[in-house]
Structure 1
C-alpha cells in the first residue's frame, strides 16, 4: 500500500512523551490550547505496533494541531548526545510576531536552548527571518520563527500563531527529494544556509546546510529537508514509542504508518480526514 499513499495535507504532529501531564503543561505555558487525556484506540495501537495501552492529549494553536502520546510500554528517552544535524532531528517551526518574547516564555517554562544566542536574524539569502531553536523539557526540538513584516501572508496576528513547517535532517538529500516527490509533494526553491548567523542558530561550528522545501497539496504546514554537509550523524533507528519518534499525521483515505529514507515516521489517518470533512460541512 505504501507506494499508493500520497502526502496530501498535514493534519498535525504527534510527539511521544514519558510524562503526559508535565509536557502538556509546558505547551500550555507557551500558548497551546490543551485538551484532556483520552485513550488511544486499540486499532491505532495495533497500527503503531505497540503492545498495551496508550493515552493522548490533543492540543491546538490556531489551526495547527499537536498531539501528545504516552504509552504503557515506554520507549527510550531522547538521546542526550544530539545536535541539530542528527538524523533523528525533526522540529516544527512555530510562527510568532516576537521571537524574543516567545523564547523567554518557553525558557521560563523549562525549554532548553539549541541556539547559542538569543533569536538570530538570518540574512536575506537565508530567508531573512528571526529564529531560535530550542528543546521542550523532554528533548523534542522546536523553532520560533518571526517573518519580516508583510513577508508571509499566511501568518497575521500577535503571539504564537501556528506551525509553518516541520524540518527534518536527512542523510541523503537526493534520495529524500525523490521519496517526497514520489509521494506527491512539490519541491520549492532550495536555499544554502551558512555563516555566523546559521552557526548561532544551529549551535554547530562551521555549519553548511542545504534546505529544500517540499510542499504538499495543502499548506501550511509544509516540510523542509535539511541536508547538513559533512555533519549528519546517525543515532540509530527509532522505535515508534521512543521519545524522539515524532510523527507527521496526514489526512488520508487509508490508515497506515510509513518511514521516510531516514526513519522519520508518517502516519496516514482516515479519522483525521473524516474529522476535517465533517468540520467543513
Structure 2
C-alpha cells in the first residue's frame, strides 16, 4: 500500500566529505554544532546536516555563478562576533573578498559573508538588520542560530521555479541583487543576480533560494555523484522512499519517507 503524501519539507542537507569525522569536528568548533553519536549528523539549531563519505577528493571549487554551487546560510546573532570566532578556527577559505558585507536595503539590508569549509562546501554567515529579524530567529540563545536557507545557482529562474512548484514549493519573494557589495560578496566582477526565495509546502526553515546570474551569466556545470560538490537536499514527507531526483540544473534531491529523526540529536 502506497504511503500517503504529506507536505514536503527540507529535512536535511547532505554533504559529501573526504573525512566526515574531520568535517564534524570543524562544524562543532566553528559553529557549535551538536554531533550525533555516530558522527553522521550535525544539528545547527533546529536544522540538520548529514555527513556522508565522498568518493572523489579532487572536486575543485565551484564559482558562485556555476550551477554546481550550493551554499548553506547560517543565521548569526552578531556578525562581528561570529566572524571573529570563525577567524579563530583553522581550515576554511574565504569566498568574499573583504570580510562581511552589509548589502543595501534594496537587497534586504542583511550582512553576509561567504566562505568554504575545509572540504570546499560553500557556506554563508547571515545577520539580519536590527528591527528586521524574522520572528523565527528572534530571542534565540547563542551566536550561531541555525540554517535559514540553502541556495543553489540555476541557469533559468522560470524553469527552476516550475520544477519546484511541481513539488509544492511557492515563491515567497523575488529580487535582483547587484552593486559593489554583491561583487565583493560573490568574488565576481559586477554580478547581477536574480534571487528567488521558495518556501517548501511543509514550512521552513530551511527554505530554498534560487540564484540566477544575469551577469556574468550562470555557467552550467556538472560534477560526479561522489564529489564533495554533489550536495543533496533530503526531503521528508514525500510519500516516496529513498527516491533520488535531479532538478533541471543537476542539483541532487533525495525523497525520504517515514519519520525523520529529530535534529535535536537526543539519541543516547
Question: Do these two structures clear the TM 0.5 threshold for a shared fold by scoring above it?
Answer: yes
CA distance in 1 between counterparts of 2:6 and 2:220 reads: 27
CA distance in 2 between counterparts of 1:7 and 1:182 reads: 12
Runs of 4+ aligned residues of structure 1 deviating over 4 Å after TM superposition are 4-7
- Match of residue 79, structure 2, among 99, 104, 119: 99
User: What SS does the aligned partner of 1:83 have?
Assistant: coil
CA distance in 2 between counterparts of 1:33 and 1:104 reads: 21
Q: Bigger shift: 249-258 or 127-136? A: 249-258
Kindly indicate whether the alpha-carbon contact (under 8 Å) linking 1:12 and 1:250 is maintained by their aligned counterparts in 2.
yes
CA distance in 2 between counterparts of 1:244 and 1:6 reads: 29
Q: Tell me the residue number matched to 1:249.
A: 234
In the TM superposition, residue 28 of structure 1 has moved relative to its aligned partner by 0.6
CA distance in 2 between counterparts of 1:6 and 1:115 reads: 39
- Match of residue 199, structure 2, among 215, 219, 223: 215
In the TM superposition, residue 188 of structure 1 has moved relative to its aligned partner by 1.8
CA distance in 1 between counterparts of 2:20 and 2:260 reads: 26
Q: Tell me the residue number matched to 1:227.
A: 212
Deviations 1:196-250 (A, max 9, x none): 11111111111000000111121111101000014222332x3332111111111
Kindly indicate whether the alpha-carbon contact (under 8 Å) linking 1:23 and 1:138 is maintained by their aligned counterparts in 2.
yes
Kindly indicate whether the alpha-carbon contact (under 8 Å) linking 2:173 and 2:198 is maintained by their aligned counterparts in 1.
no
Kindly indicate whether the alpha-carbon contact (under 8 Å) linking 1:100 and 1:118 is maintained by their aligned counterparts in 2.
no
Q: Is it true that 1:33 corresponds to 2:34 in the alignment?
A: yes
CA distance in 1 between counterparts of 2:230 and 2:104 reads: 32
Kindly indicate whether the alpha-carbon contact (under 8 Å) linking 1:16 and 1:244 is maintained by their aligned counterparts in 2.
yes
Which structure shows the higher helix fraction?
1
What count of residue pairs does the alignment treat as equivalent? 251
Structure 2: gaps (5+ residues): none
1:129-148 mapped onto 2 (5 Å cutoff): 129-148=110-129
Q: Tell me the residue number matched to 2:67.
A: 87
Structure having greater relative contact order (Cα 8 Å, sep ≥ 6): 2
1:1-281 mapped onto 2 (5 Å cutoff): 8-30=8-30, 31-37=32-38, 57-70=40-53, 74-80=55-61, 82-109=62-89, 110-151=91-132, 152-156=134-138, 157=140, 158-217=142-201, 218-229=203-214, 230-236=216-222, 238-252=223-237, 253-255=239-241, 256-271=243-258, 273-275=259-261
1:184–1:220: structure 2 CA closer, same or farther, 3 Å change rule? same
Could you say what the CA RMSD is over the residues aligned between the two structures, in angstroms? Answer: 2.0
1:5–1:261: structure 2 CA closer, same or farther, 3 Å change rule? farther
Kindly indicate whether the alpha-carbon contact (under 8 Å) linking 1:170 and 1:227 is maintained by their aligned counterparts in 2.
yes
In the TM superposition, residue 106 of structure 1 has moved relative to its aligned partner by 2.6
1:233–1:28: structure 2 CA closer, same or farther, 3 Å change rule? same
CA distance in 1 between counterparts of 2:128 and 2:188 reads: 23
CA distance in 2 between counterparts of 1:7 and 1:137 reads: 34
